[in-house]
Structure 1
């Protein structure tokens, strides 16, 4: 068994540390910030508590499997509740809002009420989504791609033609084959945004995501998403993980090549890990020796900052040809009084979606106006996140991944472009949802911009989610989870396989264990670990 250092205390780093300790390794986890959680953080003021990142609990079977690997269950660790409606959709033209239910049959009826024949077409669409999701879960999501031979299975070969088609055709064109009404197309195309992409750039393979919200439903952990972080931290420490906060890794130490587990095949490494150099909050430095280093920090930061160029598997020239996904302006609002016009999750879709995405991903990037924005009102479900008689709002405005847009601040004190985007979003919610006095009722206001993502989590280009899931950045074409230049250096998190989102980060932690075990299977590991 190895001495392991895990870099980064977000969900991927914590999950990796917990699994490796369970597997018998000696594990130290180092986190540069004072608090754990990374993007899945928390902020409090005047009785309001805000989740500062992920807010959709999807793919519950992935969470269940992860906790069972550690000898417990999601039911034992979390207090989950089903949201109904799962979310509400507002559109720019002022049409009546559309509610997406936790019940498939209600959603079939809703689609039929918007467009004749769309109900049964939705049923067929979601059948395909479920089939594709099951195949992805069984053959791709839990694969390290260390060997492609396990992918050559009968179920994959039978669907080879379909899979090629789903990879070659963008999601928006796939949706347009079955649905005409623009709002229905937006509902089915929006999952691309969860993946850091857009419907015209994400492969139609990702129509599988619609199975998650339209058929399975959306859950919420009472107490907020910080309870997930707390649960995994608790399990990691119970397993013996030593957690060091206020500890920034400044260098991955290497030495002559030796035998190290988990290396990538077909490549001759130039060095082997020896540990990391850590700078504490008081400026003092120390060395943590290790046989294996797992970086759950941003992969761009790990490769281009913590390693010399000669040892970089993914040098800057590689990133110059890649897509960082969107940035975001986040707005956390404490609001006086109730807001019945909004539900737990609300989506506001601009009419000209293409112009929206061109503003974010096109040749002349700028903050879109009006933007297609996301609003979370967890106080509808969870009284612990806001004082009585008030509401908690978390607003996400997708913007280009560009740190020069600036940083946020308290009470309008952030950089001008960030605060302008926040003002526009508040006015948009007020107008589209029919809350004309929203701005006057704000008690607490905090903004976060792309510059904050760089400062807080070392995000490449200020990206809010991670590298976009385009066809060139999906599955085995995404950054792998092991260095080809440094033996014993592995990766976890949203910027490596399998990708963006809390469930994907939990899977990435499991893939580290599989890599160290030289496990090339494509299915989840046996429970418990």
Structure 2
């Protein structure tokens, strides 16, 4: 007699939900456990007095990645979500400049915008975007969808022919690469800011990541009506449709193993996960465990020291990426001064980056901040005649900054950062009475990320994409110490962001299958019955 192999997924964020659905479709009997009362992880939602806020991701890029994932499960983005392409993609406010810059997507629109700011920059951005496109295509075909558990699949003519250029892009900072194409500081900031979405800075991120400009400047920026939590809803529904049992309010206490049965250099074999819920602790047996939670938390809290991949010294040398203070504002009256996405750049933004990465003084004021106004596109997120604002102020990854709260009730340092951001938006965007019009306010600080999401050092995004933390240097997708233990999410390959979390789930499945290919899996995902375990 035989039974389907069992799998337990730890963490119900985007990567955990995506992993669970793929494993179930591949023949596993899957349980997903999340410590929260609802799934979503960083991609959460909060509703109050008629306002509905996304509390995490708010930029939709790489639409093809989402569509590919949905097609693996026999559906499409169009069937699951109502996507709107934003125009303008975003608006940029510059310190000391009264005229914001409208950034529209599409090569012609971008060339015209750049030419209008700096004569000659139109041709320069065309060359830059050509390079971004070719680099992005190579990344998709060879680097994003691979486990890096074997390097032989990377020995391809297209990779070998570009080794020299790839080497330069990996060792040259994004900042200097951008400076080689445009001279105007405002345009440099537009091209350099995507590094922040990678948890890094233009001076620290490799120039390879200029590929991000192909995504926002050419392919465009989208928004799912109903908010990003709608994506979480769809992922959970798809997982349950595949047979996944989702258990919330269930905290993983330990990843349990059996010593002496590991293969190769592994020291043990996974046997399951111990979880704690309302009725106490229970053991959930599993042939396979996927830890889709923060990797630092998994290693330091759920595994014994002898089964960890990395030492304390290794973690001390790593960069957890920035923290953040999030400010959720319900505002009375309309705010046409702000686009759906607005960026506020200080003249000396390096001062802010120095603070984020531990080499500068306390938080600068003003700071370079990001504001999302989803009510510009989606009337469902705010009462009629009101606006919904999501403000992100990058901070050091330091739980000591404190927790947020409602109606100004967070820790003093968090609320001071929030007050400064509101005042800055009011002054730069020309909304002098903004603070007086706020009717709903909630803040979220680094300590919230650390305690509620087990985020390493209270980081808001995940480990920074520096040279030492990119591609195969970022981490393994399968444990080298515990057979049957795999990892997924923003703290492992391929990296930070919703698209990367979906790809991470597919890379995890490839590792389980022993698939060393570099390209996306064929659509739809074909059931490959795993080896049955004795029952």
TM-score in same-fold range (> 0.5): yes
Aligned to 2:35: 32
Root-mean-square deviation (Å): 1.0
Q: Where in structure 2 are the equivalents of 1:55-94 lying within 5 Å?
A: 55-94=58-97
Q: Which moved more, 1:333-342 or 1:251-260?
A: 251-260
Conservation of the 8 A alpha-carbon contact between 1:498 and 1:504: yes
Conservation of the 8 A alpha-carbon contact between 1:84 and 1:101: yes
SS of 1:435 mapped into structure 2: coil
Provide the rounded CA distance (Å) in 2 between the counterparts of 1:8 and 1:368. Answer: 35
Aligned to 1:463: 459
Provide the rounded CA distance (Å) in 2 between the counterparts of 1:259 and 1:325. Answer: 33
Provide the rounded CA distance (Å) in 1 between the counterparts of 2:513 and 2:389. Answer: 44
Provide the rounded CA distance (Å) in 2 between the counterparts of 1:370 and 1:212. Answer: 28
In structure 2, the gaps of 5 or more residues are 526-535
Q: Where in structure 2 are the equivalents of 1:272-311 lying within 5 Å?
A: 272-280=269-277, 282=278, 284-311=280-307
Alignment of 1:487 onto 2:490: no
Conservation of the 8 A alpha-carbon contact between 1:368 and 1:399: no
Instruction: Please list the CA deviations of residues 86-135 of structure 1 after superposition, one character each: whole Å capped at 9, or x if unmatched.
Output: 00000011231001113321111110010010011111100100000000
Instruction: Please list the CA deviations of residues 59-99 of structure 1 after superposition, one character each: whole Å capped at 9, or x if unmatched.
Output: 00000100000011111011001000000000011231001
Provide the rounded CA distance (Å) in 2 between the counterparts of 1:372 and 1:283. Answer: 46
Provide the rounded CA distance (Å) in 2 between the counterparts of 1:327 and 1:525. Answer: 34
Provide the rounded CA distance (Å) in 2 between the counterparts of 1:397 and 1:47. Answer: 25
Alignment of 1:147 onto 2:159: no
Aligned to 2:369: 373
Aligned to 1:271: 268
Alignment of 1:348 onto 2:344: yes
SS of 2:190 mapped into structure 1: helix
SS of 1:112 mapped into structure 2: helix
Provide the rounded CA distance (Å) in 1 between the counterparts of 2:35 and 2:364. Answer: 33
Runs of 4+ in 1 over 3 A off after TM superposition: 257-260
Aligned to 2:495: 499
Instruction: Please list the CA deviations of residues 484-507 of structure 1 after superposition, one character each: whole Å capped at 9, or x if unmatched.
Output: 111111000000000000000000
Conservation of the 8 A alpha-carbon contact between 2:351 and 2:360: no
Alignment of 1:315 onto 2:311: yes
Provide the rounded CA distance (Å) in 2 between the counterparts of 1:94 and 1:364. Answer: 25
Alignment of 1:210 onto 2:213: yes
Provide the rounded CA distance (Å) in 1 between the counterparts of 2:32 and 2:266. Answer: 25
SS of 2:392 mapped into structure 1: strand
User: 1:283: how far off?
Assistant: 5.5
Q: Which moved more, 1:339-348 or 1:95-104?
A: 95-104
User: 1:356: how far off?
Assistant: 1.2
Instruction: Please list the CA deviations of residues 243-288 of structure 1 after superposition, one character each: whole Å capped at 9, or x if unmatched.
Output: 000000010111034368xxxxxx51111111011000x2511000
Alignment of 1:193 onto 2:189: no
Aligned to 1:401: 397
Aligned to 2:5: 2
Provide the rounded CA distance (Å) in 2 between the counterparts of 1:429 and 1:95. Answer: 13
User: 1:353: how far off?
Assistant: 1.2
Alignment of 1:116 onto 2:119: yes
Conservation of the 8 A alpha-carbon contact between 2:262 and 2:482: no
User: 1:9: how far off?
Assistant: 0.2
Q: Which moved more, 1:157-166 or 1:366-375?
A: 366-375
Conservation of the 8 A alpha-carbon contact between 2:262 and 2:268: no
SS of 1:251 mapped into structure 2: strand
| Matched pairs, number | 522
SS of 2:359 mapped into structure 1: coil
TM-score by length of 2: 0.96
Alignment of 1:45 onto 2:48: yes
User: 1:317: how far off?
Assistant: 2.0
Provide the rounded CA distance (Å) in 2 between the counterparts of 1:283 and 1:330. Answer: 34
Conservation of the 8 A alpha-carbon contact between 2:34 and 2:250: yes
Instruction: Please list the CA deviations of residues 499-518 of structure 1 after superposition, one character each: whole Å capped at 9, or x if unmatched.
Output: 00000000000011100110
Conservation of the 8 A alpha-carbon contact between 2:98 and 2:428: no
Aligned to 2:175: 172
Provide the rounded CA distance (Å) in 2 between the counterparts of 1:97 and 1:37. Answer: 34
Provide the rounded CA distance (Å) in 1 between the counterparts of 2:334 and 2:420. Answer: 21
User: 1:369: how far off?
Assistant: 1.9
User: 1:455: how far off?
Assistant: 1.2
Provide the rounded CA distance (Å) in 2 between the counterparts of 1:224 and 1:197. Answer: 26
SS of 2:182 mapped into structure 1: coil
Provide the rounded CA distance (Å) in 1 between the counterparts of 2:332 and 2:260. Answer: 61
Q: In the alignment, which of 134, 139, 154 is matched to residue 136 of structure 1?
A: 139
SS of 2:46 mapped into structure 1: strand
User: 1:363: how far off?
Assistant: 2.6
Instruction: Please list the CA deviations of residues 448-482 of structure 1 after superposition, one character each: whole Å capped at 9, or x if unmatched.
Output: 00000011110000000000000000000001111
Q: In the alignment, which of 18, 24, 29 is matched to residue 21 of structure 1?
A: 24
TM-score by length of 1: 0.98
Instruction: Please list the CA deviations of residues 358-398 of structure 1 after superposition, one character each: whole Å capped at 9, or x if unmatched.
Output: 11113346323211000000000000000000000000000
Aligned to 2:259: 256
User: 1:186: how far off?
Assistant: 0.2
Instruction: Please list the CA deviations of residues 424-443 of structure 1 after superposition, one character each: whole Å capped at 9, or x if unmatched.
Output: 00000000000000000000
Conservation of the 8 A alpha-carbon contact between 2:261 and 2:267: no
SS of 1:5 mapped into structure 2: strand
